[in-house]
Protein backbone atom coordinates (compact mmCIF):
# COMPACT_ATOMS: atom_id res chain seq x y z
CA UNK A 1 0.00 0.00 0.00
CA UNK A 2 1.05 3.53 -0.72
CA UNK A 3 -0.07 6.69 0.97
CA UNK A 4 0.47 10.41 0.96
CA UNK A 5 -0.82 13.36 2.93
CA UNK A 6 -2.14 16.56 1.38
CA UNK A 7 -2.97 19.91 2.91
CA UNK A 8 -6.56 21.11 2.82
CA UNK A 9 -8.68 23.84 4.41
CA UNK A 10 -10.02 21.24 6.88
CA UNK A 11 -6.55 19.97 7.79
CA UNK A 12 -4.26 17.22 6.50
CA UNK A 13 -5.95 14.52 4.43
CA UNK A 14 -4.40 11.08 4.04
CA UNK A 15 -4.79 9.27 0.71
CA UNK A 16 -4.07 5.53 0.66
CA UNK A 17 -4.34 2.73 -1.86
CA UNK A 18 -2.32 0.94 -4.49
CA UNK A 19 -0.83 4.17 -5.87
CA UNK A 20 -3.47 4.69 -8.53
CA UNK A 21 -6.81 3.57 -7.07
CA UNK A 22 -7.78 4.97 -3.68
CA UNK A 23 -8.99 2.69 -0.91
CA UNK A 24 -9.00 5.22 1.90
CA UNK A 25 -9.28 8.96 2.48
CA UNK A 26 -8.45 9.90 6.05
CA UNK A 27 -9.78 13.17 7.43
CA UNK A 28 -8.00 15.04 10.24
CA UNK A 29 -10.76 14.68 12.85
CA UNK A 30 -11.78 11.17 11.83
CA UNK A 31 -13.61 8.93 14.28
CA UNK A 32 -11.79 6.05 12.61
CA UNK A 33 -8.26 7.37 12.05
CA UNK A 34 -5.97 5.47 9.77
CA UNK A 35 -3.05 3.96 11.63
CA UNK A 36 -0.47 3.66 8.89
CA UNK A 37 1.29 0.29 9.12
CA UNK A 38 5.10 0.40 8.92
CA UNK A 39 5.11 -1.65 5.70
CA UNK A 40 3.20 1.06 3.83
CA UNK A 41 5.25 3.44 1.70
CA UNK A 42 4.75 7.17 1.63
CA UNK A 43 4.97 8.33 -1.96
CA UNK A 44 4.56 11.87 -3.19
CA UNK A 45 4.34 10.43 -6.72
CA UNK A 46 1.27 8.37 -5.80
CA UNK A 47 -2.26 9.64 -6.41
CA UNK A 48 -1.21 12.57 -8.60
CA UNK A 49 -4.65 12.84 -10.20
CA UNK A 50 -6.43 12.46 -6.86
CA UNK A 51 -4.36 15.32 -5.42
CA UNK A 52 -5.14 17.50 -8.43
CA UNK A 53 -8.85 16.80 -8.06
CA UNK A 54 -8.85 17.46 -4.30
CA UNK A 55 -7.12 20.82 -4.80
CA UNK A 56 -9.62 21.69 -7.55
CA UNK A 57 -12.53 20.66 -5.31
CA UNK A 58 -11.35 22.87 -2.46
CA UNK A 59 -10.82 25.73 -4.94
CA UNK A 60 -14.45 25.37 -6.05
CA UNK A 61 -13.43 24.24 -9.54
CA UNK A 62 -14.52 20.58 -9.30
CA UNK A 63 -18.01 19.34 -8.51
CA UNK A 64 -17.54 15.58 -9.01
CA UNK A 65 -14.50 13.40 -8.58
CA UNK A 66 -13.56 10.99 -11.36
CA UNK A 67 -10.96 8.64 -9.91
CA UNK A 68 -10.24 4.92 -9.74
CA UNK A 69 -11.57 3.73 -6.38
CA UNK A 70 -11.23 0.47 -4.47
CA UNK A 71 -13.27 0.84 -1.27
CA UNK A 72 -13.53 -2.30 0.82
CA UNK A 73 -16.90 -3.09 2.38
CA UNK A 74 -19.89 -5.38 2.41
CA UNK A 75 -22.31 -5.59 -0.50
CA UNK A 76 -24.79 -3.42 1.41
CA UNK A 77 -22.13 -0.80 2.18
CA UNK A 78 -21.07 -0.77 -1.47
CA UNK A 79 -24.69 -0.10 -2.54
CA UNK A 80 -24.94 2.79 -0.09
CA UNK A 81 -21.61 4.24 -1.21
CA UNK A 82 -22.65 3.98 -4.86
CA UNK A 83 -25.90 5.81 -4.06
CA UNK A 84 -23.98 8.53 -2.23
CA UNK A 85 -22.10 9.31 -5.43
CA UNK A 86 -25.41 10.18 -7.14
CA UNK A 87 -26.19 13.03 -4.71
CA UNK A 88 -25.55 16.20 -6.71
CA UNK A 89 -22.98 18.78 -5.63
CA UNK A 90 -24.34 21.27 -3.07
CA UNK A 91 -27.42 19.09 -2.45
CA UNK A 92 -28.37 17.29 0.74
CA UNK A 93 -30.69 14.37 1.41
CA UNK A 94 -31.82 12.55 4.55
CA UNK A 95 -30.81 9.07 5.66
CA UNK A 96 -34.41 7.98 4.98
CA UNK A 97 -34.17 9.27 1.42
CA UNK A 98 -30.87 7.47 0.93
CA UNK A 99 -32.46 4.24 2.22
CA UNK A 100 -35.34 4.73 -0.25
CA UNK A 101 -32.87 5.27 -3.09
CA UNK A 102 -31.18 1.92 -2.48
CA UNK A 103 -34.58 0.22 -2.46
CA UNK A 104 -34.79 -0.42 1.28
CA UNK A 105 -36.87 2.41 2.80
CA UNK A 106 -36.91 0.87 6.29
CA UNK A 107 -33.10 0.68 6.49
CA UNK A 108 -32.34 4.26 7.62
CA UNK A 109 -30.31 3.09 10.60
CA UNK A 110 -28.29 0.59 8.54
CA UNK A 111 -27.77 3.25 5.87
CA UNK A 112 -26.47 5.59 8.57
CA UNK A 113 -23.99 2.94 9.73
CA UNK A 114 -22.81 2.32 6.15
CA UNK A 115 -22.54 6.06 5.62
CA UNK A 116 -20.38 6.32 8.74
CA UNK A 117 -18.13 3.50 7.49
CA UNK A 118 -17.46 5.23 4.17
CA UNK A 119 -13.70 4.89 3.60
CA UNK A 120 -13.63 7.60 0.90
CA UNK A 121 -15.23 10.72 2.39
CA UNK A 122 -15.52 13.81 0.19
CA UNK A 123 -15.06 11.70 -2.99
CA UNK A 124 -18.02 9.54 -1.92
CA UNK A 125 -19.94 12.51 -0.49
CA UNK A 126 -21.35 11.21 2.78
CA UNK A 127 -21.23 14.81 4.05
CA UNK A 128 -24.31 15.47 1.88
CA UNK A 129 -26.51 13.28 4.10
CA UNK A 130 -28.24 15.13 6.93
CA UNK A 131 -30.93 14.47 9.50
CA UNK A 132 -34.59 14.37 8.47
CA UNK A 133 -35.12 17.69 10.27
CA UNK A 134 -32.27 19.32 8.32
CA UNK A 135 -29.74 19.08 11.15
CA UNK A 136 -26.09 18.31 10.52
CA UNK A 137 -25.92 14.91 12.13
CA UNK A 138 -22.70 13.00 12.76
CA UNK A 139 -19.82 13.02 10.33
CA UNK A 140 -16.74 10.84 10.58
CA UNK A 141 -14.53 13.85 9.90
CA UNK A 142 -16.24 16.01 12.53
CA UNK A 143 -19.21 18.33 12.26
CA UNK A 144 -17.00 21.38 11.60
CA UNK A 145 -15.58 19.67 8.50
CA UNK A 146 -19.08 18.67 7.36
CA UNK A 147 -20.29 22.24 7.74
CA UNK A 148 -17.23 23.54 5.89
CA UNK A 149 -17.74 21.14 2.97
CA UNK A 150 -21.45 21.92 2.62
CA UNK A 151 -20.80 25.68 2.82
CA UNK A 152 -18.00 25.39 0.25
CA UNK A 153 -20.29 23.58 -2.17
CA UNK A 154 -23.17 26.00 -1.65
CA UNK A 155 -20.90 29.02 -2.21
CA UNK A 156 -19.52 27.66 -5.46
CA UNK A 157 -22.86 26.34 -6.70
CA UNK A 158 -24.35 29.80 -6.24
CA UNK A 159 -21.38 31.36 -8.05
CA UNK A 160 -21.78 28.89 -10.92
CA UNK A 161 -25.53 29.60 -11.14
CA UNK A 162 -24.75 33.31 -11.32
CA UNK A 163 -22.19 32.77 -14.07
CA UNK A 164 -24.74 30.80 -16.10
CA UNK A 165 -27.19 33.71 -15.99
CA UNK A 166 -24.75 36.49 -16.87
- Catalytic: which of 98, 126, 129, 130? 126
| Annotation marks residue 88 as catalytic | no
Residue 105 near residue 96 (C-beta atoms within 8 A): yes
List % helix, strand, coil for the chain (3-state, nearest 5). Answer: 40, 15, 50
Residues 6+ apart with CB under 8 A from 12: 5, 6, 28
Per the document, the length of the chain is: 166
Active-site residues, by number, are: 126
Amino acid sequence: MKYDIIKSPIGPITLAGNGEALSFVGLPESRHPLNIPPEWTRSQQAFVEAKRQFYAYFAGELMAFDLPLEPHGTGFQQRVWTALRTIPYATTISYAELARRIGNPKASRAVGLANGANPLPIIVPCHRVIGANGSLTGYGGGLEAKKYLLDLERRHAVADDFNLVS
